[in-house]
Amino acid sequence: MRFVKKYWLEMLMVLPLFAYLFYFTFIPVLQTIQISFIDDKSNQVSLINYESLFSHIDFNSALFNTIFITIVGITVQIVIALVIALILKKKFFGRGFFRTIMLIPMGVPTLVSGVTLLFVFGQTGYFNELLYRLGLVSTQPYWLGGGFESLAVIIFADMWKVLPLTVLLLLAGLESIGEDVYEASSIDGANGWKKFWHITLPLLKPSITMAIILRAIDSFRIFELPLVMTGKNVPVLSTFAYEAFQRNQYGLSGAAAVILLLIIILFILLYFFIVERKEARDGR
């Protein structure tokens, strides 16, 4: 009681947030898990949704596409973002201009970036025209019909949209590394590559981890881009769950969402397990 008396104001201030998150996030997630175990037809508890899920051809490709887009996409994104961040960290003429240019995609809604890149990668789009004018193709390949080329286009689209944020995250990390560390290593005779490998990268690791985790969560949940750009040609888990919802197959939709949640949690656990363990070993 004394605790309540002393901290009543604080509790009052925190309560709405926690109540909201409890009621509108935590409970719905539990409900989704519950829905996924209930047969839509008979209202009985059963595993039928999961059975039909894994025999569904769209689901299997959705599962593969989601994981592929995330793993490949994030690897490419982090590498490119790191290169850009390293360049932008150096002082040179026009740096402010380039920094501003880099931010443009951030001001474009995800949906719009899907629409725009649809114009670019459509069959009579500007990418094909560019290839044609460069003499690289004579016909017009269709990039969005499914398969690896569509996945590559989606990975590019996702990268285009989020590159600014990733670059900013890494840049903030880079700028927090003090100049004196580099000066000391120069005196010790380290060259650029060695500096990068032995100083920049280890010191940047918290930022990279943060970027990977944040990006991976978003990338697993990717929704608008595949939906707008390829329709049903490239199903991912989110669009699969949405399609099932639209057909009123709530159980199936819930099951797909649960699988997605499991994948995200598994990924993060695995990442920390591998990275942290390596760190512990290195530290010894």
Partner 1 sequence: MKRLTSDRIFKFISFPLLLIIAFMMIFPVYILVKVSISEPSEVNTDHPTFLVHDITLEHWKNIILTDKKTESGQIVYKINIDELMVASEEEEQIIITPDEQYTINGVTRKLSFIEGATYKLSREELKKVRDASTTKKIFFGEETIQKLYMPIWKSLSVATLTTIFAIFIAAPAAYVISRMPKSIGYIIILGLLFTRMFPDVGIALPIATRFVSWQLTDTTLGLIFAHLIPNLPFLAWILVGTFQVIPRDVEKSAMIDGAGRLTTLRKIIFPIAAPGIAVGAMFVWLNSWNEFLYARYLTTVEGTLPIKTFEIITTGSYFTAAAYSTILTIPIIIITFYLQRYLKSGMLSGAVK
**Size of interface with partner 1, in residues (CB under 8 A):** 92
Angle, in degrees to the nearest 10, between helices 250-283 and 201-220: 170
What are the Cα distances from residue 240, in Å, to 44, 165, 257, 272? Answer: 23, 27, 9, 28
Determine if 174 is a binding residue for partner 1 (CB under 8 A). Answer: no
Tell which positions 132-151 bind partner 1, by CB under 8 A. 132, 140
Determine if 185 is a binding residue for partner 1 (CB under 8 A). Answer: no
Determine if 45 is a binding residue for partner 1 (CB under 8 A). Answer: no
Q: In one letter, which amino acid is 217?
A: I
Beta carbon nearer to partner 1, 143 or 220: 220
Beta carbon nearer to partner 1, 51 or 183: 183
Determine if 166 is a binding residue for partner 1 (CB under 8 A). Answer: no
Determine if 32 is a binding residue for partner 1 (CB under 8 A). Answer: yes
As a whole number of angstroms, the distance between CA 74 and CA 212 comes to: 7
Beta carbon nearer to partner 1, 129 or 279: 129
CB 157 within 8 Å of CB 117: yes
Stretch that binds partner 1, among 43-51, 57-65, 84-92, 274-282 (CB under 8 A): 84-92
Determine if 158 is a binding residue for partner 1 (CB under 8 A). Answer: no
**Interacting residue with partner 1 among 4, 5, 10, 179 (CB under 8 A):** 10
Stretch that binds partner 1, among 56-64, 71-79, 171-179, 269-277 (CB under 8 A): 171-179
**Interacting residue with partner 1 among 1, 41, 57, 107 (CB under 8 A):** 107
End-to-end CA distance of the chain: 48
As a whole number of angstroms, the distance between CA 219 and CA 66 comes to: 8
Beta carbon nearer to partner 1, 268 or 275: 268
Tell which positions 237-256 bind partner 1, by CB under 8 A. 237-238, 241-242, 245, 250, 253-254, 256
Determine if 59 is a binding residue for partner 1 (CB under 8 A). Answer: no
Beta carbon nearer to partner 1, 83 or 281: 83
Determine if 234 is a binding residue for partner 1 (CB under 8 A). Answer: no
As a whole number of angstroms, the distance between CA 92 and CA 94 comes to: 6
Beta carbon nearer to partner 1, 112 or 274: 112
Determine if 60 is a binding residue for partner 1 (CB under 8 A). Answer: no
Q: How far is the CB of 95 from partner 1 (least distance, A)?
A: 9
Q: Name the 3-class secondary structure at 94.
A: coil
Q: Please, which contacts does 194-200 make with residues 24 or more away whose CB atoms are closer than 8 Å? A: 196/86, 200/86, 200/174
Q: Name the 3-class secondary structure at 247.
A: coil
| Cα angle: 174, vertex 180, 182; to 5 degrees | 65
| Residue 77 burial (C-beta neighbours within 10 Å; 0-12, 13-18, 19+) | buried
